[in-house]
Amino acid sequence: MLNEFIGNKFSQLSPSGTTIVKATLKDFWIEQYSTDSGGKQVLAALAGGEINIMCLAKVKVLLTVIKDGEELTKIISVSSEDTYVSGISTGTSTSNIYRGKDSLEHTHAGNINKANNKVIMMMNSYFEEIGL
């Protein structure tokens, strides 16, 4: 994704050029947790029902640009989040699976993609800021 962006942004790349751009992935993680109380989760497990799950993806990238002998650095930190509704037993009419929506894994994948897109947008903004 990043290679495609750089290739499209800078159409005349040259290994002997004077400007160097380096992006280093510093941190990446996904999280999920229930936004419902412990009591509601136990009740759903015993009697059926739904549990709301918050899914997050976080990305941190160190962007280094060497331009005209000057080294510029910026840390780009972004996140994306979405809610997943998990149905247990009966009473699952609004759960994601019952409604034909994506699975929990697809929710995480969508968040990862959104976070990566935000990194690209922030990089593009920074490139414009420094005149690239």
pLDDT in tens, the chain (132 residues): 888 888 888 877 777 778 889 999 999 999 999 888 888 878 877 777 788 899 999 999 999 999 888 999 999 999 999 988 877 665 555 555 555 567 888 899 999 999 999 999 999 999 999 988
CA distance 56 to 49: 23
What is the residue extent of each domain of the chain? Answer: 25-60+75-129
Biggest CA–CA distance in the chain, Å, is 67
